[in-house]
Chain A
Amino acid sequence: MKILVCISHVPDTTSKINFTDNNTQFDTNGVQFVINPNDEFGLTRAMWFKEKQGASVDVVNVGGAETEPTLRKALAIGADNAIRVNTQATDGFQVAKQLANVAKEGGYDLIIAGRESIDYNGGMVPGMLAALLNANFVNTCIGLEVDGAEAKAVREIDGGKETVSAKLPLVIGGQKGLVEESDLRIPNMRGIMMARKKPLNVVEPVEATAQTTAEKFEKPAPKGAVKLVDPDNLDELIQLLHTEAKVI
């Protein structure tokens, strides 16, 4: 089985979010970048397929040279090859187009992407990629088994979960649950050394026109001070929620 894991290069979850150039650009100053957490769960599941079922695992990112350390980290975790599509995509559709091209050329059986990136939260890349490839698609995937050309996937739904079956080729929108948090791997020294020697191919983009543009950004208005209620006067809290906040 040939697996492609799509890796988004995103600010660490603890990052302070700021913007520059008159609030039109994300301020990367002092920001630590990581593998998008939703992608990392997928990558770790792919490692399981590699170790237990002999799958090969390639990773791909659409971005500039600054994203290479993130791809190297994925190699250090255990991916075999990395591909970087050398373009600064401005929307999810452009990313999906580039990924579709890589996926087509590589003839992958299983393509795993995170359900969304934690930066722009578009939530569109896996689905668009599946539609562009005319492949089956399972979103918010929290469990995945593959037997030959048949996959069984568990998908999170509102209020529960659903098990579905589908044939490969399959695109997965992954998230926590594909593997447990405790299954995530921190690259060891050997992995890091080996990752330096693994291929990282830079490919040029295909033509793709953006459909959406983030024109500017804004931070939420600062919060007013919290109203503290004495623990011995919980009636006051109920009154505040009833008459002031009007939520009960």
Chain B
Amino acid sequence: MSVLVYIESEEGKFKKASLEVASYAKGVANMLGTTVTAATFNAEDVSELGTYGVDKVLKINNSKLKDFNAEAYADALKQAADKEGTKVVVLSQSANSKYLAPLLAVHLNAGYASNVVSLPESATSFVVKRTAFTNKAFSFTNISTDIKVVGISKNAFGLKEAQGAATAEDFSPNLSEEDFSVNVVSVDKAKDKVTIADAEIVVSGGRGLKGPENWGMIEDLAETLGAATACSKPVSDMGWRPHSEHVGQTGKPVASNLYIAIGISGAIQHLAGINSSKVKVVINNDAEAPFFKAADYGVVGDAFEIVPKLNEKLKEFKAKNA
């Protein structure tokens, strides 16, 4: 019966989004009067999970699962769910979770709701609030199948520490050759760089910056804040910045705590993509830019003067508050 959570790690550490997902699972388990079981892949020390409401950990250790593989991971999670008699599987909305969730849902004959931002309405009616229309609306979605798969939007539920310790046991799912028919050839990933998906703070630049040669100040500000860098659609279309930095409706969604938009006017498609961010700051020389209507804080003025100055002041602030 227990609620199953898929826990993701990155360089030997649990991802914050996964701890948030564990917190969510604890909330669901409390409603249903059951416990939380986590499935980890090649993780060593899993004691931290107890702090976020996990009662039991199924440790899946298999060298074939070193690289993420959606089909194999989905199969392993399916077998974990079967073993636990799980009715609710909870996962994050990382690229990998979004990849495996629909596969897992079909294997479990489960209904799947993505981008979920709330606990179910009640134990008997599994209606969850999720974002739709690229954050321009919410949809209240009823999952009517016996087993349910729920993808939790980052930063929507928050971390909830709980008292308790998790027991751990090894779990070895039976994986078939078919599980490994999509194979990783190479991975190209920036090391030591905060990703947009994981970032607490995102610093984003638009066409107002006039050219790729001016991105130094965006990167400097991001470095001071420990932030990820992003850009608007025209900037990526013109090739000033890579696609992977494009945020908005057809790019990446952003759900950071703080989003700083510099020289971005705020087209409806852009605003939709970043709407899940908690606090938005806009710096733009055009006081009429639509972004000012969507932002919490704004500075009207020349970004080329403001951004370096802000960076210096933030460094002083960081030094004082370190």
Q: Are these two chains actual partners, yes or no?
A: yes
Interface size bracket, A side? 35 or more
Given A176-B243, A211-B144, A217-B140, decide whether A124 and B114 contact each other with a Cβ distance below 8 A: yes
Q: When A215-B141, A226-B293, A241-B279 are in contact, do A121 and B115 touch as well, CB less than 8 Å? A: yes
Decide: B249 and A13 in contact? CB cutoff 8 A. Answer: yes
Which A158-190 residues sit within 8 Å CB-CB of chain B?
158-167, 173, 175-177, 180-182
A128 to B251, CA, bound (A): 22
Closest to A114 in B: B250
Contact of A231 among B110, B250, B299 (CB under 8 A): B299
Number of interface residues of B (CB under 8 A): 94
Min C-beta distance of B227 to chain A, whole Å: 10
Q: A137-B103, A157-B189 are in contact. Are A214 and B139 (CB under 8 A)?
A: yes
Of all chain B residues, the one with the shortest Cβ separation from A177 is B243
Shortest beta-carbon contacts, A-B, top 6: A127-B102, A211-B111, A160-B189, A159-B195, A131-B106, A231-B301
Chain A residues, CB < 8 A from B182: 136-138, 164-166
Instruction: For the complex formed, measure the closest distance between the CB of A206 and the CB atoms of chain B, giving whole angstroms.
Output: 16
Binary interface encoding of chain B residues 248-283 relative to chain A, with 1 for a CB under 8 A from any of its CBs, else 0: 011100000110000000001100100100110110
A59 vs B196: C-alpha distance when bound (angstroms): 33
Q: Which of B184, B188, B258, B282 contacts A164 (CB 8 A)?
A: B184
A213 within 8 A of B: yes
Task: Output the least CB separation between B13 and chain A (Å).
Answer: 14
A124-B105, A157-B187, A228-B298 are known contacts; what are 7 more A-B pairs with Cβ within 8 Å? A118-B133, A123-B115, A139-B95, A140-B99, A214-B139, A220-B275, A237-B297
Chain B residues with CB below 8 A from A55, complex form: none
Interface residues of A in 179-232 (CB under 8 A from B): 180-182, 210-220, 223-224, 226-231
Q: Which of A1-20 contact B (CB under 8 A)?
A: 11, 13-14, 17, 19
A166 to B250, CA, bound (A): 26
In the assembled complex, how far is the CB of residue A159 from the closest CB belonging to chain B, in whole angstroms? 4
In angstroms, Cα B137 to Cα A17, docked, is 7
Can you list 21 A-B pairs with a CB-CB distance of less than 8 A? A11-B133, A13-B269, A93-B105, A118-B133, A123-B98, A123-B101, A152-B185, A163-B187, A165-B185, A176-B243, A210-B144, A213-B144, A218-B138, A219-B138, A220-B135, A226-B295, A226-B296, A227-B298, A234-B299, A237-B281, A245-B279
